[in-house]
Structure 1
């Protein structure tokens, strides 16, 4: 009775382990399917949001063009049309040059693109570790 009871007990434990393994596998697969469906839905929302942002950018650009045309028309009331047509783009060129110069200065402050302080700290840490290892 002893060996056969032990044997059936071992079989039931191995069956339980196998069943638990199968259930865990099914659970993980189910969670992966759920995560995939969730990410697909989020991706759709990001795509729609990106398209709407793009549309807003195009409309904003058209609005700025209309504004520039309005400024030229307003200047044309007191100046010849050709002069108004040259003054407004010249003013825009000056604004663009100032923005370009400011942007270039910001890029200069960011260069080089490596975290220099962190690299120096890591080098110091490595040197300290080497020094303490030789003691």
Structure 2
């Protein structure tokens, strides 16, 4: 209320609006924290499950590699040669993956359009600041 008990002054209206806006922002931040906490727990659980699956996948690859080497041994090769063949196959696969990875990295470029538009924005702001 104003000094004479009638309508509130502009200062009081601005103060009330500021207080209401602060309360609204605090409420939104609290809601965001609650939602993010639930999301973080779900993401952590999912990441843990992916980690366990990756570990089991590595164990499967090891066991299949041993089985392949013993299969070559059963086909008549010496065990040392059989294991070397399996290791050589993995070495070849790794080399191909490295080659493909290098090619992919060379083709990767930065955010060219974003850099260009940012430079243009800076130039426009400089021109506005100079009064052009």
TM-score (norm. length: structure 1): 0.69
More helix by proportion, 1 or 2?
1
Supply the distance in 1 between the matched residues of 2:69 and 2:48 (Cα, whole angstroms): 32
Supply the distance in 2 between the matched residues of 1:19 and 1:122 (Cα, whole angstroms): 38
Supply the distance in 2 between the matched residues of 1:27 and 1:86 (Cα, whole angstroms): 68
- The corresponding residue for 1:28 is 25
- Deviation per CA, 1:1-44, whole angstroms, max 9, x where unpaired? xxxx982213xx24973555544433332222111111111111
Pairs within 5 Å for 1:113-124:
113-116=109-112
Q: Which runs of 4+ in 1 moved over 4 A?
A: 18-21, 115-124
Segments of structure 1 that go 5 or more residues without pairing to the other structure are: 131-135
Supply the distance in 2 between the matched residues of 1:120 and 1:31 (Cα, whole angstroms): 35
- Deviation per CA, 1:47-100, whole angstroms, max 9, x where unpaired? 111111111111111111111111011101021111111111011111111111
- The corresponding residue for 2:88 is 90
Instruction: Give the aligned CA root-mean-square deviation in angstroms.
Output: 3.2
Segments of structure 2 that go 5 or more residues without pairing to the other structure are: 128-132
Supply the distance in 2 between the matched residues of 1:35 and 1:88 (Cα, whole angstroms): 52
Cα pair distance change 1:31/1:76, threshold 3 Å: same
Which protein has the larger Cα radius of gyration, Structure 1 or Structure 2? 1
TM-score (norm. length: structure 2): 0.71
Q: How many residues are treated as equivalent by the alignment?
A: 118
